[in-house]
C-alpha cells in the first residue's frame, strides 16, 4: 500500500494511493499516527480495502496538497555519515558505529511545501535520504530479522541542514537540523511488504534542474535493518517514529567552493519507487 495524507496544513486526511487515485479512508482510520500502527492498523486497512469498493476517491492529479504521509512522529532519529563518499566529502572519518542524532519532530512537513531559510543562517544544505517509519515498539532487538518486523514502510525524506548552526556554533548537530520546515517527507509511505530490498533503491536530488546527488542505498555503511536493531539498543523506538538513514555524496558543503541554498531555488528529489518531492526555498521572516 501507499499511505498518503492530503489536505491543508493541520487538516490532513488519510488516504491510500492506488492506480493514480487517492482512496479516502477518514471514515475507516482517524490518522496515520502511532496509535494506527500500534493497533494493527495496516492489516485492518488492507482488509477493508480488499472488501470495500465504495470508498470515496479523487484522482491524484486533482490533489491540491500532499501532506507528510504520517502524522508528526514522536521522534525523528537521524543517522549521520552513513555513506562512505559523504563522509569523505565532509572530511570526516568513516564511523565504526552509526552516528545517531535527533531532529525536532515539528520539522516534518509535506513533500512539496516551502522550505524556509532560517533567520541568522547562511549555509542551508540539502540531503536526500531514505526514511523508515516504525510500526511497533522496538527495544533491545536481538537481530536484524527482529528489526524487519518493526518496520511499517519507507518514504522519501529530505534532511535539510543549516551547516553554520550545525558545525560552527558549538554543541550538538540538532541545532542545525531542527529549523522549521527542515524535514519534507513523502509524498507517500510505501509499506514494507512492497519494498523487498531497502538496500536496492536509487537516490537523486537536483537544485534548479542541476543534478547534485546520485546514489544508491546499496552504498550505506550500516544497512537499514542494522540501523533499526542498533538504535533499539539505546532508546525505545515507538510506532510512528521516523528514522532518516543518511545521505550520499553531493551535498553543498562538499562542493568546491561550497554552494548553499538561496531564496528562490527549487529542490527536487526522489528515492526509487517511493515518489518525488519538490520544494521552493523561501526566507523565514
Helix (H, G, I), strand (E, B) or coil at 170: coil
What is the pLDDT at residue 38?
96
Residue 52 has pLDDT above 90, yes or no: no
Cis peptide before 257 (omega within 30 of 0): yes
Helix (H, G, I), strand (E, B) or coil at 101: strand
Q: Is the pTM of this model over 0.85?
A: yes
Closest to 28 in 3D by CA, of 14, 18, 7, 39 = 14
What residue segments make up the domains of the chain, in order of their start? Answer: 2-62, 76-283
CA–CA separation, 24 and 47 (whole Å) = 15
Say how far residue 73 (Cα) sits from the centre of its chain: 11
Cell of 1: 500500500
| pLDDT confidence bin for 2, thresholds 50/70/90 | very high
What is the pLDDT at residue 53?
83
Residue 87 has pLDDT above 90, yes or no: no
Radius of gyration of the CA atoms of the chain, in A: 18
Tally: H helices and E strands in the chain: 7, 19
Residue 166 has pLDDT above 90, yes or no: yes
What is the pLDDT at residue 89?
85
What is the pLDDT at residue 36?
97
Residue 270 has pLDDT above 90, yes or no: yes
Assign domain 76-283 to its CATH superfamily: Fumarylacetoacetase-like, C-terminal domain (3.90.850.10)
Amino acid at each position: 500500500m501507499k499511505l498518503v495524507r492530503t489536505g491543508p496544513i493541520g487538516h490532513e486526511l488519510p488516504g491510500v494511493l492506488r492506480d493514480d487515485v487517492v482512496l479516502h479512508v477518514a471514515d475507516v482510520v482517524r490518522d496515520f499516527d502511532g496509535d494506527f500502527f500500534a493497533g494493527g492498523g495496516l492489516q485492518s486497512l488492507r482488509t477493508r480495502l480488499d472488501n470495500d469498493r465504495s470508498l470515496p476517491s479523487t484522482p491524484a492529479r486533482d490533489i491540491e496538497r500532499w501532506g507528510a504521509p504520517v502524522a508528526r512522529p514522536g521522534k525523528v532519529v537521524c543517522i549521520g555519515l552513513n555513506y562512505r563518499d559523504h563522509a569523505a566529502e565532509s572530511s570526516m572519518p568513516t564511523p565504526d558505529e552509526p552516528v545517531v542524532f535527533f531532529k525536532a519532530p515539528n520539522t516534518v512537513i509535506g513533500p512539496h511545501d516551502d522550505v524556509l531559510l532560517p533567520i541568522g543562517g547562511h549555509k542551508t544544505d540539502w540531503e536526500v535520504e531514505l526514511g523508515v517509519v516504525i510500526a511497533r515498539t522496538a527495544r533491545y532487538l536481538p537481530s536484524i530479522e527482529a528489526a524487519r518486523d518493526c518496520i511499517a514502510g519507507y518514504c522519501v525524506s529530505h534532511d535539510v541542514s543549516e551547516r553554520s548552526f550545525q558545525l560552527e556554533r558549538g554543541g550538538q548537530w540538532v541545532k542545525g537540523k531542527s529549523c522549521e520546515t527542515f524535514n519534507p517527507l513523502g509524498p507517500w509511505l510505501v509499506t514494507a511488504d512492497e519494498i523487498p530490498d531497502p538496500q536496492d533503491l536509487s537516490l537523486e536530488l537536483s537544485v534548479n534542474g542541476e543534478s547534485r546527488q546520485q546514489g544508491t542505498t546499496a552504498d550505506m555503511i550500516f544497512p537499514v535493518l542494522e540501523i533499526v536493531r542498533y538504535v533499539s539498543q539505546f532508546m525505545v523506538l515507538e510506532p510512528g517514529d521516523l528514522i532518516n538513514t543518511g545521505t550520499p555524496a553531493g551535498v553543498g558543503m562538499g562542493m568546491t567552493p561550497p554552494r548553499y541554498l538561496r531564496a528562490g531555488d527549487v529542490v527536487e528529489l526522489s528515492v526509487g519507487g517511493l515518489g518525488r518531492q519538490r520544494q521552493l526555498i523561501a526566507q523565514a521572516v
